[in-house]
Amino acid sequence: MRIAVDASCCFNRRGFGRFARELLAALARRSDGFDFVLLVDRDAAPGDLPEPLLALPRLNAQPGRSVTDAAVAGDARRPAELFAFTRAARRCQADLLFLPAVYSAFPLWPGTRAVVCFHDAIAETFPRMVFPDRKSEWFWRAKSWLAARQATRVMTVSEASRRDVGRVYGIAADRIDVVSEGADARFRPPTDHAALAAALRRLRIPEDRPYFLFVGGISPHKNLATLLTAFSRLLANASNGASGDATLVLVGDPKADGFLDSAAPLRQQIAADARLAARVHWTGFVADDDLVPLYQGACALVLPSLLEGFGLPALEAMSCATPVVASDAGSLPEVVGDGGLLVPALDAMALQAALSEVLGRPQQRALLAAKALARSRRFTWERGAADAVACFRRAVATEAR
């Protein structure tokens, strides 16, 4: 069976980009009788694609602008850019088209069997936190509505997203398949403590106190203002003799890869609070070589999002035997389970209490760390690839829409 894959999203550094790269690499390592061809929007630079994908044939749709450059906040892909992929997909003469993210979706030729992955319904649930204007929202909704209608089957990454996407786009539950995510093998418990010290020095993070870690896009729905409020209260308690002497490390690209970001108001919040200004360290984007030791050395990963489709940083942290303090929203309870502490997303006092518990009770943290590592083993890219294969086979057995 020949499967054409929209691999333009592989070049994006956000979670859906990692999903596409890791899932496709896991699929390429299997022997299912599939022949994959990748549709791309540029020539791959060194490090852009994992080794298994470099061996696959690639067809450059030549849209003029890359998808990431074209689909930035406040802009939209032009019809010619979209239909460049439509024509390229048709030239592949594939039995199935796979779009790993609706972010880079394009109109399909009539009669095309296709699987489209909707990672979440964040944009539809919190549009004012995602789109800079109504025009951008309209383009997104139109593109996503068309993708949902044209898809033979829909893929998503959690039961929570399955419910949300089905509700938002009126898709029957039996047309939606859940595909597991996983953590790359490099995310594992620490064995080289010198690597952490070296990473902290490179990123200019103090080595003399414990730290909490956030990893993700600097987007409004990540709810970082609540995290800063909770962390400031933790520091205030520390000044009164209570446990709370810590650092907060924020890992994420303020440029947001074209998405609406909340960097400016967060910087203002930090600058207006002397405690935060002294103890919050913003690293920007961090490559995996430094990200792994950062996970390994953290007291906890903190993920207070208003909604997540999966929450891959939570799983990566858990795979490093690092507990998670997260909101109880969306998919996070599914992923974190007993490997961390869950709190209401907008409750800064509850978040502060959870941070204090992890920081001030080493035995409790050790117990959560052990549970986090054990739970992380339930989620693998190998399992995700098996889920995807089952989805593909269902799609091929279904009459094209």
Domains of the chain with bracketed CATH: 2-182+381-396 (3.40.50.2000), 193-376 (3.40.50.2000)
Q: What is the pLDDT of residue 20?
A: 95
Query: Mean per-residue pLDDT for 292-308?
Result: 97
Query: Would the pLDDT of 59 be above 90?
Result: yes
Burial 313-351 (b: 16+ CB within 10 A, else e): bbbbbbbbbbbbbbbebbbbbbbbbebbbbbebebbebb
183-195 confidence digits (pLDDT tens): 999 999 998 888 8
Q: What is the pLDDT of residue 74?
A: 53
Q: 227: left (phi > 0), else alpha (psi -120 to 50), else beta?
A: alpha
Q: What is the pLDDT of residue 259?
A: 65
Task: Give the residue from 83, 93, 92 showing the smallest Cα distance to 146.
Answer: 83
Query: Would the pLDDT of 392 be above 90?
Result: yes
For tokens 């899932």, name the residue.
23
At residue 336, the 3 state secondary structure works out as: helix
Q: What is the pLDDT of residue 256?
A: 55
Q: What is the pLDDT of residue 258?
A: 54
Query: Mean per-residue pLDDT for 288-314?
Result: 96
Taking the C-alpha atoms of 228, 264, 123 and 112 in order, what is their torsion angle to the nearest 10 degrees? Answer: -130
257-291 confidence digits (pLDDT tens): 556 788 999 999 999 999 999 999 999 999 999 99
Residue 164 near residue 4, CB atoms below 8 Å: no
- Which of the four pLDDT bands, split at 50, 70 and 90, describes residue 69? confident
Query: Mean per-residue pLDDT for 380-387?
Result: 97
More confident residue, 45 or 278: 278
Q: What is the pLDDT of residue 370?
A: 98
Percent of the chain at pLDDT above 90?
Answer: 80
For tokens 């502060």, name the residue.
352
Q: What is the pLDDT of residue 238?
A: 77
Distance (Å, whole) CA 368 – CA 324: 8
Distance (Å, whole) CA 118 – CA 116: 7
Query: Mean per-residue pLDDT for 134-140?
Result: 88
Q: Out of 134-138, 240-244, 290-294, which region has the weakest mean confidence (pLDDT)? A: 240-244
The answer to whether the predicted template modeling score (pTM) of the entire model surpasses 0.75 is yes
208-257 confidence digits (pLDDT tens): 899 999 999 899 999 999 999 999 999 998 766 566 689 999 999 876 55
Query: Would the pLDDT of 117 be above 90?
Result: yes
Task: Give the pairing of strands 176-178 and 153-156.
Answer: parallel
- The phi and psi torsions of 367 (rounded to 5 degrees) equal -65, -45
310-344 confidence digits (pLDDT tens): 999 999 999 999 999 999 999 999 999 999 999 99
145-179 confidence digits (pLDDT tens): 999 999 999 999 999 999 999 999 999 999 999 99
Instruction: Tell me whether residue 75 is exposed, middle or buried, using C-beta atoms within 10 angstroms of its C-beta: 0 to 12, 13 to 18, 19 or more.
Output: middle
358-380 confidence digits (pLDDT tens): 999 999 999 999 999 999 999 99
- Which of the four pLDDT bands, split at 50, 70 and 90, describes residue 72? low
Q: What is the pLDDT of residue 349?
A: 97
13-30 confidence digits (pLDDT tens): 788 899 999 999 999 999
Amino acid at 287: A
Q: What is the pLDDT of residue 229?
A: 98
- Long-range contacts (CB closer than 8 Å, 24 or more residues apart) made by 326-331: 326/301, 326/302, 327/223, 327/303, 329/305, 330/120, 330/158, 330/160, 330/161, 330/164, 330/305, 331/120, 331/157, 331/158, 331/159, 331/160, 331/161
Task: Give the pairing of strands 35-40 and 2-6.
Answer: parallel
Distance (Å, whole) CA 7 – CA 92: 14
Residue 22 near residue 46, CB atoms below 8 Å: no
**Cβ of 193: how many Cβ atoms within 10 Å?**
11
Query: Would the pLDDT of 401 be above 70?
Result: no
Beta bridge partners of 2: 35
Q: What is the pLDDT of residue 44?
A: 83
Residue 70 near residue 24, CB atoms below 8 Å: no
CA atoms within 13 A on the CB side of 54: 8
Query: Mean per-residue pLDDT for 201-210?
Result: 92
- Which of the four pLDDT bands, split at 50, 70 and 90, describes residue 83? very high
For tokens 């094209």, name the residue.
400
- Which of the four pLDDT bands, split at 50, 70 and 90, describes residue 95? very high
Averaged confidence pLDDT in the chain: 92
Query: Would the pLDDT of 109 be above 90?
Result: yes
Q: What is the pLDDT of residue 15?
A: 85
